[in-house]
Chains A and B, each alone.
Chain A
Amino acid sequence: EPEVTQTPSHQVTQMGQEVILRCVPISNHLYFYWYRQILGQKVEFLVSFYNNEISEKSEIFDDQFSVERPDGSNFTLKIRSTKLEDSAMYFCASSGDLGYGYTFGSGTRLTVV
C-alpha cells in the first residue's frame, strides 16, 4: 500500500536553531499538508499546499514557518528559529483530491531544548 514517508523520525534541536522536516507524499497525490500534535492535545492544522503554492494556513503557521516542494517528490517544512513550544509531533499528509481523507506519514517528533 502506498505510504507517506517522513524523515527524521525524531529530531532534537536547541532553541533558536532552524530545522527542516522532510516528507515524501504518495506519488499521484496532489494535495499536501502539515499538521502537528503537541503531546496529549488535538491534531492541529498548519498548512495545505497545492499546485506549488500554499492554499490555506492556520494562525500557528507564522513567519517562522515555511514549506517547499523543492522537486517532484519531496515536501518540506522549515522552522526558522525554534521555540520550546514548537516541541510536538509533526505529521505530513497527502490526499488525491479535495474532499478525500488524508494518508498521514508516521511523523517526526521534534524536541526543542
Chain B
Amino acid sequence: SQKIEQNSEALNIQEGKTATLTCNYTNYSPAYLQWYRQDPGRGPVFLLLIRENEKEKRKERLKVTFDTTLKQSLFHITASQPADSATYLCALDMDSNYQLIWGAGTKLIIKP
C-alpha cells in the first residue's frame, strides 16, 4: 500500500536559518505533490504544488524539490521567522485525481 513518511519529531530551528522538511513515499508514482501549512485548531492551508516533471518550485521564501528517483520531496523555508512555526503536511495524488494521500505532518518550531 502507499505510504508517506514525514518526520514525526518536531523540528527546532533558530530564527534566520533555513528549515528543511522531508516527505518520503513508497509504492507509488504520484503525478504531483502538494505542501500545506496547518496551525493549531485550524484547517490546512495550501502552500505549493510541484509536478512530477518539475525538479524545483519557489514561492517567496519557500522552495520545494521533487526527486521521483529517490521518492522524496524537500520543503525549505529560508530566513525562517517565529511566525513560520506550524505543522507542515505533504500530500500526494492518487490515480483518480480525487483522492490525496496525506503525511502525518512535521511540527516546525522557529526559536527567536
> Bound pair: A and B?
no
B-binding residues in A (CB < 8 A): none
